[in-house]
Amino acid sequence: MIAEIICVGDELVLGEVLNTNAQFLSKELLSLGINCKKHTIVKDKINDIKYAINNSIKASSFIILTGGLGPTDDDITMQAIAQAFDVDLVLNNDILSEIENFFKVRNIQMPVSNKKQAFIPDGATILNNPVGTAPGIIWEVKKNTFILVFPGVPYEMTEMWNQSAKDYLKNISSENIIIKNLKHFGIPEAKIGEKIKNIMTKDNPHVAPYVDNGTTRIRIKAHSESIEKSKTLLENTEKEILKRTAEYFYGYDNDTLESVVGQLLKDKNLTLSMAESCTGGLISSKLTDISGSSEYIKLNLITYSNEAKVNMINVKEQTLINHGAVSAETAEEMAKGIKQLSGCDIGLGITGIAGPTGGTPEKPVGLVYIGVCNHESLNVYKVQLNSKLPRFKMKTLACDYALNFLRLFLLSS
Amino acid sequence: MIAEIICVGDELVLGEVLNTNAQFLSKELLSLGINCKKHTIVKDKINDIKYAINNSIKASSFIILTGGLGPTDDDITMQAIAQAFDVDLVLNNDILSEIENFFKVRNIQMPVSNKKQAFIPDGATILNNPVGTAPGIIWEVKKNTFILVFPGVPYEMTEMWNQSAKDYLKNISSENIIIKNLKHFGIPEAKIGEKIKNIMTKDNPHVAPYVDNGTTRIRIKAHSESIEKSKTLLENTEKEILKRTAEYFYGYDNDTLESVVGQLLKDKNLTLSMAESCTGGLISSKLTDISGSSEYIKLNLITYSNEAKVNMINVKEQTLINHGAVSAETAEEMAKGIKQLSGCDIGLGITGIAGPTGGTPEKPVGLVYIGVCNHESLNVYKVQLNSKLPRFKMKTLACDYALNFLRLFLLSS
């Protein structure tokens, strides 16, 4: 079953407010097996809303509207719907009592303009608003075609969705869709695309790669006549993909490199200490985003200056003179030094040129060295990032590389 | 002038990714005097993209597309554009060289599929992608009607916008709109709304407050028959606002608390050292996002465990026993200790309960103490954040409070 979402509001179209409603509704619809086909975001203009409705009704069984239900003159979604289907707006006395009551319990006189919110298209069913005055509606406008209308305020919309609309739709929908994301690091989208080219041609399960910085995510979507069969379909495809991509795979859905590293440290009962230079504390911050990270994080240093590297973690002055602060040798000594200082099981040192200045022909902006050691072995990794990345992205990507190398080190040790 | 935005991508329509591109572009267009009329978000389906383009072209002078420029088979935005206007896609050798070079400098063989990204509609002009392989285009498809195409990855899109598209459009657009944002910290939107209520009623300059975590931003938009007159209008309103809000005001437009603090340290020729606990390195990371921060950042510590606090920066064991790790006394000793250890001019210590666990009735989740000292004075600040905030938000807000207290300390010392 197919849905379209129409969000109404000048504030959305002008970019003053980020549209979180469309994302929420798409996800929720999908969890009910209803596939969203399009989002349309229009201003508070009656003709624009009507045009969007008339367009959507051609292809979709569910038209979900948000916004434009307020009491002021620019709130005209109900009028637009009535005009689009050529019905009247009729006063609903149940809604009127609800609105009157909303103000009564707050000891406020109801503004005259709020009466407007009690008018709904003839034939529609009310969706109660547990947290505001604007009611929503659900309306089977023709056989198997439904219009649902929600307030634009995200909190009111989600409450109304959770408390009434969701169950209503669950009863109508009957599809069994499952989605799973496989997350990979260190492989470009195109290369992963080549590896799974023949898997991507199928319609069900549908497989597509997406990229976000260093992470390449493969989304698998399966549907069938039962949830169990959808699961089997999905799992078979997952196995087939991982056969080809396992060396880059690090986790599923909401997993992050830091959550996976944190879990590995916990599972292996290891503590970690880091000396960061170019990432300036970002790796430490990401790892401590995970609740419970105090089990494995005790002490980290940001040794930004050469003096800090020498005085705090015993990087040799001669190493800095001979090889420079951004070198494999310095990264190695940083890893060893911080491990020694902290008494932790694992030491990580990272040094690089975050830019935009500070690069040379031999050591361009984006050059990063990462050292990782435990009590018996030490690895140093070199990465050359795109020198044109903005500083913040450079730090983020250097951090992700470090976390991924750390993950591989933990897996192999 | 009117624009429409079309965002292409299954991940957007299915709600897997929040659509920040549409908001960014709407805002940017408005700052150039181009009014956005509609956003349409469609899947990676050629007919859906074509339909959206054909619909938009009827009403708008600028059609802005994002997404679907990748190298894989489901990236078909250029094909859809070519079909919509019945032109061929032609191989552009400049783009091909750029893409080949992108892989060459990374020592990776170019995947065959990336060649696809070098085909653009006949007649279009390239927008270089400084940070990825997918080029964008700008194309005057008929007199005074422009198609602009950007990658879907937000930072590639914003870089391309900032580095090439913006200036191009500035030359086409002719309105005299100026926008300025005044950024405030530590005052709720409603309270700032009360202070500037009568200023907000005017149409020109138009004044509106927005809120983003602790920062309350007041946007002033002025227009008139000349840029100079718009400027004067805006400046008069700015003065009127700052008369009422100065104590919370910290900067303009792209200023951040960390950039303002960095500039103050630079101006006063001071160095700063920090010992972070609950923020886990986030303050250090934010301050080192600023290019040139190595002038004032030398050494920071994340003293996550009690042992690290005692061993590294001389927090007294007795202080931890008597008052706990989250206390004014500990924050004070952390600030003094890190200043002593680093030899920097300013010391900052922060300790708190980031949650979601670890709170008690006396010390609930969200309790944060911040100590700041120089060679002659020391301040300790206490903040109680909303205990229900997710951990990441808690850390971010604690970080912003610390930066703001540091800013005020630097201003007054």
Span of A53-62, A69-78, B87-96, B159-168 with lowest mean pLDDT: A69-78
Q: Tell if the CB–CB gap between A16 and B208 is shorter than 8 Å.
A: yes
Question: Does B246 contact chain A (CB < 8 Å)?
Answer: no
> For residue A205, what is the domain's CATH number?
3.30.70.2860
Q: Per the structure block, which two tokens stand in for A239?
A: 């196995």
Q: Where are the alpha helices (DSSP H) in A173-324?
A: 189-195, 197-200, 227-245, 257-268, 282-287, 306-313, 317-323
Q: How far is A191 from chain B (nearest CA, A)?
A: 6
Question: A263 and A244: one domain?
Answer: no
Distance from the first to the final alpha carbon of chain A: 49
Burial tier of B342 (Cβ tally within 10 Å: 0-12, 13-18, 19+):
buried
Output the pLDDT for position A175. Answer: 67
B145 membership: H or E segment, kind and range: strand B145-150
Which chain B residues touch A299 with a CB distance below 8 Å? 301-305, 307-308, 312
CA distances for B87 relative to B33, B42, B63, B121, B212, angstroms: 31, 22, 17, 6, 45
- Write out pLDDT tens, residues A111-138: 887 888 899 999 899 998 877 778 899 9
Same domain for B158 and B58: yes
| Candidates B30, B111, B282; nearest CB to A191 | B111
Domain boundary among A194, A222, A252: A252
Give the per-residue pLDDT at B174. 63
* Alpha-carbon dihedral sign for residues B321, B326, B327, B331: positive
Looking at the fold, whether A299 and A201 belong to one and the same domain comes out as no
How many angstroms away from the CA of B123 is the closest CA of chain A?
A: 27
If contacts are CB pairs under 8 Å, which of residues 140-199 in chain B contact chain A? 153, 155, 159
Question: Do B36 and B147 fall within a single domain?
Answer: yes
pLDDT digits (tens, 9 = 90+) for B241-264: 999 999 999 999 889 999 999 999
Which residue, among B302, B303, B389, B391, would best test binding to A if mutated, counting the most A CBs under 10 Å from its CB? B302
Nearest Cβ partner of A302 from B112, B300, B307? B300
Closest chain B residue by Cα to residue A297:
B304
**A304 with B291: Cβ contact below 8 A:** no
- Nearest-by-Cβ selection for A18 from B23, B30, B159: B23
Sign of the four-CA dihedral B155, B159, B162, B166: negative
Given A210, A230, A252, the domain boundary residue is A252
Rg, chain B, Cα only = 26
Q: Does A220 touch chain B (CB under 8 A)?
A: no
Interface test with A, best of B285, B287, B389 (most A CBs within 10 A): B285
Task: Closest CB to B10: pick one of A16, A208, A386.
Answer: A208
Domain that includes residue B229, residue range: 176-252
Of B22, B284, B391, the CB nearest to A280: B284
pLDDT of residue A114: 85
Residue whose token pair is 């109304």: A160
Q: Chain A, 386-405: which have a CB under 8 Å from a chain B CB?
A: 386, 388-393, 395
State phi, psi for A236 to the nearest 5 degrees: -65, -40
Contact indicator for A258, A287 with CB cutoff of 8 Å: yes
Please check whether residues A248 and A261 belong to one and the same domain: no
The distance of B75 to chain A (nearest Cα, Å) reads 10
Q: Looking at the complex, does the CB of residue B71 fall below 8 Å from at least one CB of chain A? A: yes
Task: Give the mean pLDDT of chain A.
Answer: 92
Q: Which residues of chain B have pLDDT under 70?
A: 173-175, 211-213
The pLDDT of residue B30 is 87
Q: Are residues B102 and B142 in the same domain?
A: yes
Chain B neighbors of A24, CB-CB under 8 A? 15
CB pairs under 8 A between A and B: 256
Residue A112: its pLDDT value, please?
81
The 3-class SS string of A155-166 reads HHHHHHHHHHHH
A274 and A393 housed in the same domain: yes
Task: Kindly list the residues from chain A whose CB atom is less than 8 angstroms away from the CB atom of residue B35.
Answer: 14
State percent of chain A over pLDDT 70.
99
Same domain, A157 and A56: yes
Are A18 and B13 within 8 A, CB to CB? no
Task: Examine the pLDDT at A212 and tell me if it is beyond 80.
Answer: no
Please indicate, yes or no, whether residues A302 and A205 belong to a single structural domain of this protein. Answer: no
Q: Count of domains in chain A?
A: 3
Partner-chain residue, chosen from A191, A300, A356, that has the shortest CB–CB distance to B281:
A300
Task: List, for residues A364-408, the tens digit of each pLDDT value.
Answer: 999 999 999 999 999 999 999 989 888 999 999 999 999 999 999
CB-based contact B339:B274 (threshold 8 Å): no
Taking an 8 Å cut-off on Cβ atoms, the answer to whether B39 and A36 are in contact is no
Report how far residue A35's alpha carbon sits from residue B221's, in angstroms, rounded to the nearest whole number: 40
The tokens for A321 are 């003179």
The residue among B331 and A214 whose pLDDT is bigger is B331
A287 & A246 share domain: no
- Rounded average pLDDT over A293-308: 97
Token pair recorded at residue A27:
């996800």
Interchain contact A307–B (C-beta under 8 A): yes
Query: Do B266 and B377 fall into the same domain?
Result: yes
CATH classification of the domain holding A317: 3.90.950.20
Q: How far apart are CA B290 and CA B297, in angstroms?
A: 11
Is the same domain home to A34 and A74? yes
Chain B residues with beta carbon closer than 8 angstroms to that of A20: 18
Q: Of B172, B205, B228, at which residue does a domain stop? A: B172
Note the pTM of the prediction, 2 decimals: 0.79
Residue contact B395–A308, C-beta within 8 A: no
Residues in B closer than 8 angstroms to A219, CB to CB, are 10-11, 16
The CATH number assigned to the domain holding A131 equals 3.40.980.10
Bridge partner residues of A301 (DSSP): A275, B301
Examine the predicted complex and report whether its ipTM is higher than 0.85: no
pLDDT tens-place string over residues A217-240 = 998 989 888 889 999 999 999 999
Q: Which of B217, B223, B188, B231 is nearest to B203 (CA)?
A: B223
Provide the pLDDT confidence category of residue A360 given band limits of 50, 70 and 90: very high
pLDDT of residue A108: 77
Between CA A307 and CA A314 the distance in angstroms is: 10
Q: From the CA of B27, how many Å to the nearest CA of chain A?
A: 5
pLDDT of residue A55: 92
State the pLDDT at residue B164. 87
**If residue B26 lies in a helix (H) or strand (E), which one and from where to where?**
helix B20-31
Give one DSSP letter per residue of B314-354, joined into a string: ---HHHHHHH-SSSHHHHHHHHHHHHHHHT-SEEEEEEE--
A357 vs chain B: nearest CA distance in angstroms? 8
